[in-house]
Amino acid sequence: MQRTTAEWQAIDRQHYLHPFSDPKALHESGTRIITRAEGVWLWDSDGNRILDGMAGLWCVNVGYGRRELVEAATAQMTELPYYNNFFKTATPPVLELSALLAEVTPPQFNHVYFSNSGSEANDTVVRLVRRYWDVLGEPQRKIVISRWQGYHGSTMAGASLGGMPAMHAQGDLPIPGIVHIDPPYWYGLGGTLSPEEFGLNAAGWLERKILELGPDRVAAFIGEPIQGAGGVIIPPATYWPEIERICKKYAVLLVSDEVICGFGRTGRWFGCETFGFEPDLMTIAKGMSSGYLPIGGVMVGDKIATVMIESGGEFNHGYTYSGHPTCCAVAERNIRILRDEKIIETVAADAGPYLQNRWRELADHPLVGEVRGIGLIGALELVKDKLTRGRFAPLGEVGTVCRDFCFQQGLIMRAVGDTMIIAPPLIITHEEIDELALRARRCLDLTAAVLGIAN
């Protein structure tokens, strides 16, 4: 039914509770209603066309409007809309997708557990690594180390693994056995160190924490190759190889949360390939289906899969919709699009470098303290003083002003504190990147004008 924006907003106020939102504030301002999309463009219920600089929520990698994905869903729903994978059963789509994932993931990955989201996949990770060490006769290895400003989901384990104090403050988190270290955030924490020196230092915090806890109590370390929701924190090149070395030294399992970086965001299939490390487990979701249907999973490396299979015994874990056939059929088709159309190669050789060049031009803006990015992910740090990296107070206010101007100017950019973020669909063209850069600069100018900063 086609209603007016005001009618939808009224229903929203009366009946709907949004994720991560203050309902009272939202009721005052009214919700934006997105009604359709094509390529990198969204339309709202007032007919405004908006450039989606965030690919939905970091997920619509192949862009909106791909008929093949609609057709894959229609065909599967017609044939077999649902069946489970419990009780000695499987369906063709879950098997086809498993085999395809083994092909596109790094060589150590040949097995997958499916979930319906990144959060559920990370809950699976926690249960799986604890089960692995139990099976190996080291039941005291229970602790998972993760990082402040990491984001690993919103379930009890996901939010606990994440390093968002505002999330921990609600629901008595973290759950026991999860410990955090500081992130490899050079712009914020690097001081006078070179990025390379800082990267080694930041990895050293992991070793220090392992030694403090006792190496025989640490089950795993989990991190996003680039911390996305935490502000696009891109570690120096020295960081991940050193993290891998430390994990190997203490036999700590290494988990790469690829929910944002996976499926091409950084110009390789997976972020761990871009940063040069070999994880034991990978969390996947989002770009796996380009967000057309909900699906996630855990890629299980051979080292762990062999133990789980050869030990015998049941891993008492799974969801009604683990390996949902329709979601699997869509994810499989989506991954084939990424592969057959060489979309990720294009990100690496063309779209990525082009976007990064245009993005770096914003460095001369008086509000911009640092520009960073890789592939099709980017961030701008808005600061009060470029030289000293001095922040605005309270943090987040200027970011929100800028983000609101972005909406007004027909551009979706995320604000994390005062860091502005983009992660557009991977199929974005040069012309659309030009438009993104133009609109971003206009929004920075408008923000500077509100602050009374001369441009």
Would you state the structure tokens that stand for residue 255, as one six-digit string?
């988990």
Stretch that binds ligand PXG, among 152-160, 181-189, 247-255, 401-409 (CB under 6 A): 152-160
| Residue closest to ligand PXG, measured at CB | 118
> Which is nearer to ligand PXG, 125 or 347 (by Cβ)?
125
> Which is nearer to ligand PXG, 222 or 371 (by Cβ)?
222
Interatomic CA distance for residues 224 and 274, integer angstroms: 12
Min CB(147)–ligand PXG separation in Å: 11
User: Which of 118, 223, 262, 424 is close enough to bind ligand PXG by CB under 6 A?
Assistant: 118
Site for ligand PXG in 26-45 (CB under 6 A): none
Decide: is 56 part of the binding site for ligand PXG (CB under 6 A). Answer: no
User: Which of 52, 123, 207, 224 is close enough to bind ligand PXG by CB under 6 A?
Assistant: 224
> For 426, how many CA atoms within 13 A lie in the half-sphere containing its CB?
35
The set of long-range contacts for 401-405, using a CB threshold of 8 Å and a minimum separation of 24, is 401/447, 401/450, 401/451, 402/443, 402/444, 402/446, 402/447, 405/442, 405/443, 405/446, 405/447
> Which is nearer to ligand PXG, 223 or 448 (by Cβ)?
223
User: Which of 41, 113, 132, 151 is close enough to bind ligand PXG by CB under 6 A?
Assistant: 151
Contacts of 63 (CB under 8 A, 6+ apart): 39, 40, 290, 425, 426, 427, 428
> For 10, how many CA atoms within 13 A lie in the half-sphere containing its CB?
5
Stretch that binds ligand PXG, among 36-44, 173-181, 252-260, 383-391 (CB under 6 A): 252-260
Min CB(48)–ligand PXG separation in Å: 22
Stretch that binds ligand PXG, among 254-262, 331-339, 370-378, 400-408 (CB under 6 A): 254-262
Decide: is 152 part of the binding site for ligand PXG (CB under 6 A). Answer: yes
Contacts of 231 (CB under 8 A, 6+ apart): 149, 185, 379, 416, 417, 419, 421
Decide: is 280 part of the binding site for ligand PXG (CB under 6 A). Answer: no
Min CB(194)–ligand PXG separation in Å: 27
Strands (DSSP E) contained in 243-280 are 253-257
User: Which of 228, 301, 352, 425 is close enough to bind ligand PXG by CB under 6 A?
Assistant: 228
Min CB(424)–ligand PXG separation in Å: 14
User: Which of 37, 94, 285, 298 is close enough to bind ligand PXG by CB under 6 A?
Assistant: 285
Decide: is 142 part of the binding site for ligand PXG (CB under 6 A). Answer: no
Residue 212 burial (10 A CB sphere; 0-12, 13-18, 19+): exposed
N- to C-terminal Cα separation, the chain = 47
> Which is nearer to ligand PXG, 257 or 418 (by Cβ)?
257
Decide: is 57 part of the binding site for ligand PXG (CB under 6 A). Answer: yes
Question: If binding means CB under 6 A, how many residues of this protein chain bind ligand PXG?
Answer: 18
3-state secondary structure of 18: coil
Report how far apart, in Å, the C-alpha atoms of 190 and of each of 183, 186, 236, 420 are.
11, 4, 10, 20
Report how far apart, in Å, the C-alpha atoms of 280 and of each of 37, 105, 116, 241, 256 are.
37, 12, 21, 14, 8
Stretch that binds ligand PXG, among 224-232, 244-252, 300-308, 359-367 (CB under 6 A): 224-232
Decide: is 52 part of the binding site for ligand PXG (CB under 6 A). Answer: no
Site for ligand PXG in 406-425 (CB under 6 A): 414
User: Which of 52, 207, 257, 280 is close enough to bind ligand PXG by CB under 6 A?
Assistant: 257
Q: 347: which DSSP letter?
A: I
Decide: is 185 part of the binding site for ligand PXG (CB under 6 A). Answer: no
Contacts of 271 (CB under 8 A, 6+ apart): 224, 225, 226, 256, 258, 260, 261, 262, 265
Decide: is 259 part of the binding site for ligand PXG (CB under 6 A). Answer: yes
> For 249, how many CA atoms within 13 A lie in the half-sphere containing its CB?
14
> Which is nearer to ligand PXG, 207 or 417 (by Cβ)?
417
Contacts of 34 (CB under 8 A, 6+ apart): 42, 43, 44, 45, 50
Q: Which residues bind ligand PXG (CB under 6 A)?
A: 57, 117-119, 122, 151-153, 158, 224, 228-229, 257, 259-260, 285, 296, 414
